[in-house]
Amino acid sequence: MSESGPAPRDAPLRAQAPATPPTEESELLALAIEAARMAGALLAQRARAGAERTVASKSTPTDLVSEADLASERAIRELLAARRPQDGFVGEEEGASRRGDSGLSWVVDPLDGTVNFLFGIPQWCVSVAVRDAAGVLAGAIYDPNREELFSATRTGTAQREGADGRAHLTGRARAVVADAAVALDGDELASAMIATGLYYDARVRREQAKVLERLVGRVRDIRRFGSAALDLAWTAAGRYDAYFERGVKQWDVAAGTLICRRAGLAVVELAADELLPGGVLAGPPALVGALRELVGSA
């Protein structure tokens, strides 16, 4: 069976992590990008064709999987198996994961934001990452709707590539937000734009509503769009000041947390408790501590 527990804490970027030559990291990233773009093109074609004919529920009636998810994952599996047959594979949709014997494993969300995709809401993407025993080595998130690619390697910079060219990601929100923080007596949290997501289980959502009630009066505003991978990428790009979510799986966040780290953001684990599943929080170090106090428990 595929792994379905909370996303594991990624290994920090530290000297004792096994050294992978930058050329190998670059080659792995190139393949991740190729897979993400290929699957994104497939999904965009299906989106233009109209409604998916085959849709099923997974864990709850709101947790959906479509033939588009399955077709995208199969295409990525086939590409990776042809290029790197010794590597492991963990995907969201089709059951059995493959361990491999190379020490590397690919972690894939073939369509992050399935509900958005099915409803015609243009906020979904493909996320492809590759990891070793120390954590994620390279990752790519491709958004076909905006033709934007977000990527990073363990030792490289985080980048965004789009129609307007390529740029390094620094995780800094827009200048107007920084100016507002000064105007609010230095309370950076009061001027922060926060992204989040809601769990599929209604019982957990009720607890999350309590957290949001506590948070909404302390920040500029809250956004909930539906794709965890894109939320992380957009946080790295400075479109949000921070992002947190409970119940994310490793395929949701493997590429995105690496991109955030390489953009200079702090990424911390939100521990599970009896009311809420574990999760992840990403943002500038100056904000993460205060946010963790607000969202770290029910």
pLDDT tens per residue, range 210-230: 999 999 999 999 999 999 999
C-alpha–C-alpha distance, residues 204 and 195, integer Å: 18
pLDDT exceeds cutoff 80 at 80: yes
**What H or E segment, with its residue span, contains residue 209?**
helix 202-216
In terms of DSSP bridges, do strands 165-168 and 221-223 run parallel, antiparallel, or are they unpaired?
A: unpaired
Query: How large is the average pLDDT for residues 161-169?
Result: 94
pLDDT band at 6 (very low <50, low <70, confident <90, very high): very low
pLDDT band at 132 (very low <50, low <70, confident <90, very high): very high
C-alpha–C-alpha distance, residues 112 and 103, integer Å: 26
User: With contact defined as beta carbons under 8 Å apart, do 221 and 190 qualify?
Assistant: no
pLDDT at 183: 40
**Residues in contact with 3: Cβ distance below 8 Å, sequence separation at least 6, in sequence order:** 90, 97, 249, 250
pLDDT exceeds cutoff 80 at 185: no
pLDDT exceeds cutoff 90 at 77: yes
- What pTM, to 2 d.p., does this model score? 0.86
pLDDT at 54: 55
Q: Do domains 22-168 and 175-295 have the same CATH topology?
A: no
**22-168 CATH fold:** Fructose-1,6-Bisphosphatase; Chain A, domain 1 (3.30.540)
More confident site: 51 or 25? 25
pLDDT at 68: 87
* CATH class for the domain made up of 175-295: alpha beta
pLDDT at 26: 95
C-alpha–C-alpha distance, residues 136 and 107, integer Å: 9
When mean pLDDT is compared across 98-102, 227-231, 253-257, the lowest value belongs to 98-102
**Residues in contact with 108: Cβ distance below 8 Å, sequence separation at least 6, in sequence order:** 35, 73, 76, 77, 89, 90, 91, 92, 127, 128, 129, 251
Domain ranges of the chain: 22-168, 175-295
pLDDT at 95: 55
Query: What sign does the CA torsion over 111, 114, 120, 124 have?
Result: negative
pLDDT exceeds cutoff 80 at 23: no
| Averaged pLDDT of the chain | 86
pLDDT exceeds cutoff 50 at 2: no
C-alpha–C-alpha distance, residues 273 and 172, integer Å: 31
Query: How large is the average pLDDT for residues 13-27?
Result: 66
pLDDT band at 180 (very low <50, low <70, confident <90, very high): very low
